[in-house]
Structure 1
C-alpha cells in the first residue's frame, strides 16, 4: 500500500521521472449509468499495448460525474484490474481526486487501497478559497497518497493558481508531479517558477496537460533563474485527454520529442508537428464551441475505431458540438500520420475478447 512516494516501486518511480505517456482514461458507458465492462477493459488493453506508461483514471476525461453515480471506486477498480491482468510492465497508476477535503481524502484512500500510485489533485471545488486554505487541503490529502498537482484550465472548471500557490504546493514533501493544463503559457511558467523556487525539481516530475501545445512543451528547455543560478526544468511526459485517442501515435511522438530534447537539436519537422497536433486538438476538444464536446470528441474517435459504441456521457451537456464531427473527419484525413486507426483495427478483436 502506497502512502508516501518512497513506497512507490523503483521501476514505476523511474518511469515517472524519466517521462512517459499517460492517457486520461475515458469511461465506457453501457446502459443507463452502468460501466460497459467489456469496452472499459478493451480501452485499458489498448493503452497498454500502444505503449502508454501509465493510466489516469477518475479524471476530467473519465467524467467527474462518475462520483454522482457511485462509479468512482468501480471505474478505478475495473481499470486497475484490467491493467494488472493484461501486462506486467511497470506502469504509473494515477487517480483523480476532487471535492472538498473530506471527499478528496476519502477518494485518496480508495485509490490507495486499489493500488494507485498517486492522486491527481483537482482544486475546482475550492473556488473562492484562500491560498492558505488550498495549501492546507492539499497537505491533508498528501497524508494519504502521493500527489500530482493539477492546473485545470478555467474553461472546464479550473481555478487560477498563482506562483505563490505552486511554490508552497511544491514544498509539500509528498508531491511527486504536476500536470500543467491551464492552456495558458503565462500560467504554465508560474508552475515552473514555483517548482524551482521550492527547490523541488529533483522530486517533482513535470507533465504537460496543455493539449493545445503538447509538442512545444515536450521540446522546450524551460530555464528559470533562481537566485544567481539558472535551472532548467524539462517537461518529460504528458498526462493528457488528447492522448486517450491515437495513443500509439502519441507514444511514437513522445519518444521523438524526448530524443530531440535530450540531443539539444530540434528538427523543423517536429516544430511543424506542434501546430498539426494542436489543429487535431481543436477538433477533439471542440474549441469552436467553447470546449462543449471536449469529452464527446474523444469518444467519437474511439467510436469510429470500434473501441466504443457511442459518444454518450453521464451529463446531458457533454455532447458533440455543432460541426465537431465534421472537424474530426477533417483532421483525421489531413493529419492521418497522427492517427493509429490501422493499429487499432489489427488488435480490436483481441482487446474485446
Structure 2
C-alpha cells in the first residue's frame, strides 16, 4: 500500500499513540570528531534491542551542530537504515527539524523522503518572533510532514511559549503530539490547558521531555477544566535525552507504570520513590549543577563507561564534562545500581559492534 506523505503506517501510529520509550539518539564521534559509523550503528541496535518504541534523531541530544558540517543527512539516513536493518517490528522514526523557514522546510522534506514518520520542530532559531509568526512556521512545516511540538527548556535555547500558543498549535491538523520539556511545572500545565482548549486531546499525544520529572509526569492524571466538564490528560510516553542511557531500564519502568494504571490499584509508593531517584540520576547526567553545560557529554560518559562509545567527544571542543560531573555520575551509579542496564549492555555489546 502506498501512503500519502502525511500518513503513518497504522501499526506505527498505534504504537506512538499508546506511548513508548523514544530515546533522543546521541552522536557517536571518533577522536577526530568525525562520525564513528560503527558505534553510531551500535547505539541504534542497542535502543532497538532494549525495547525502545522509536528513535528521535537530529534533536538536541544528537547535537544541533550536525547541520553545520554536513552530517544532518548522513546521520538521519544511518539511523533509519540501521534500525530497519536490525528489526522488522514497528518503530516510530522522528527527525529533529530546526532553523528558519527555508532550512526547516528542507529538513522536513529530507526527513519525509528518508522515511521518517514525523518531525520534532525546534523553534529556538526564531527567538523574538510573535506567536503568529511561530505558528505560521509550524503550519508550513506541517504541510510537509506530521509534526510534534517541542517545548524546550530555556536553559538550552528554548523559547517561553504561552497558553495561547499551545492552544493554536494544538489546533493544527497535522500536529500529532507535543514533547513537553520546559522543566517547569507551570509551563507544563500551560501546554495541557492549550491542548484541552483546542479540543485536541484525542488527536495530540503527549510525551514528556521533562527529564527532571519523568516518573511523576508519566504517573499523573492531569485534570483540566473545560466549560462544565473536566478532561483528564496523561503523558503516554517519553521522548527524552535521559532515556538515551540505561534504556532497557526505562522500557521496564514505562511498562511498570502502564501496568499500574491499567490495574486501577492506586499509586505504587515505590514508583513515587523512583521519581526522585531517577531525577537524582538526571541531575548528574545533565550537569544541573553547572546549568546543563555538560548535559550531552554526561550522557556520552555513561555510554562510554558501558563500551558503546569510545569517548565523550562532542562537535564543539569546548563541550565536555564539567568539573565534578564525573564524580556525580560515580555517585548515582553507586547510589542507584538497580536503575542501570550495564549487564544487558555487557551481554550484547560485541553483537551490536559487529
Does TM, normalized by the shorter one, top 0.5? yes
Alignment of 1:16-165 (within 5 A): 16-165=16-165
Distance in 2, matches of 1:288 and 1:190, equals 27
The equivalent of 2:221 in structure 1 is 221
Q: Give, in angstroms, the shift of residue 316 of structure 1.
A: 2.2
The equivalent of 1:301 in structure 2 is 302
Distance in 2, matches of 1:276 and 1:130, equals 39
The equivalent of 1:189 in structure 2 is 189
- Gapped regions of structure 2 (runs ≥ 5): none
Distance in 2, matches of 1:203 and 1:4, equals 18
Q: Is the 8 A contact 2:31 2:313 kept in 1?
A: no
Q: Is the 8 A contact 1:99 1:124 kept in 2?
A: yes
The equivalent of 2:275 in structure 1 is 274
Q: Is the 8 A contact 2:33 2:313 kept in 1?
A: no
The equivalent of 1:342 in structure 2 is 343
Q: Give, in angstroms, the shift of residue 33 of structure 1.
A: 4.0
The equivalent of 2:291 in structure 1 is 290
Q: Give, in angstroms, the shift of residue 262 of structure 1.
A: 3.1
Q: Give, in angstroms, the shift of residue 31 of structure 1.
A: 4.5
**1:291-349 deviations in whole A, cap 9, x for unaligned?**
01000000000000000000010012321011000100110111011100000000000
RMSD across aligned C-alpha pairs, in angstroms? 1.0
SS in 2 for 1:69: coil
- Gapped regions of structure 1 (runs ≥ 5): none
**1:140-187 deviations in whole A, cap 9, x for unaligned?**
000000000000000000000000000000000000010000000000
Q: Give, in angstroms, the shift of residue 2 of structure 1.
A: 6.4
**1:272-296 deviations in whole A, cap 9, x for unaligned?**
0000000000000000011010000
The equivalent of 1:329 in structure 2 is 330
Distance in 2, matches of 1:63 and 1:32, equals 16
Q: Is the 8 A contact 1:2 1:115 kept in 2?
A: no
Q: Is the 8 A contact 2:21 2:254 kept in 1?
A: yes
Q: Is the 8 A contact 1:237 1:254 kept in 2?
A: yes
Q: Give, in angstroms, the shift of residue 258 of structure 1.
A: 1.6
Distance in 2, matches of 1:56 and 1:13, equals 15
Alignment of 1:226-237 (within 5 A): 226-237=226-237
The equivalent of 1:200 in structure 2 is 200
Q: Is the 8 A contact 2:33 2:314 kept in 1?
A: no
Q: Give, in angstroms, the shift of residue 35 of structure 1.
A: 1.1
TM-score (norm 1): 0.98
Specify whether residues 2 and 116 from structure 1 end up closer, same or farther in structure 2 by C-alpha distance, changes over 3 A only. Answer: farther
Q: Give, in angstroms, the shift of residue 27 of structure 1.
A: 0.3
Specify whether residues 271 and 299 from structure 1 end up closer, same or farther in structure 2 by C-alpha distance, changes over 3 A only. Answer: same
Distance in 2, matches of 1:155 and 1:76, equals 26
Q: Is the 8 A contact 1:93 1:117 kept in 2?
A: yes
Distance in 1, matches of 2:192 and 2:236, equals 13
Specify whether residues 97 and 307 from structure 1 end up closer, same or farther in structure 2 by C-alpha distance, changes over 3 A only. Answer: same
Q: Is the 8 A contact 1:218 1:261 kept in 2?
A: no
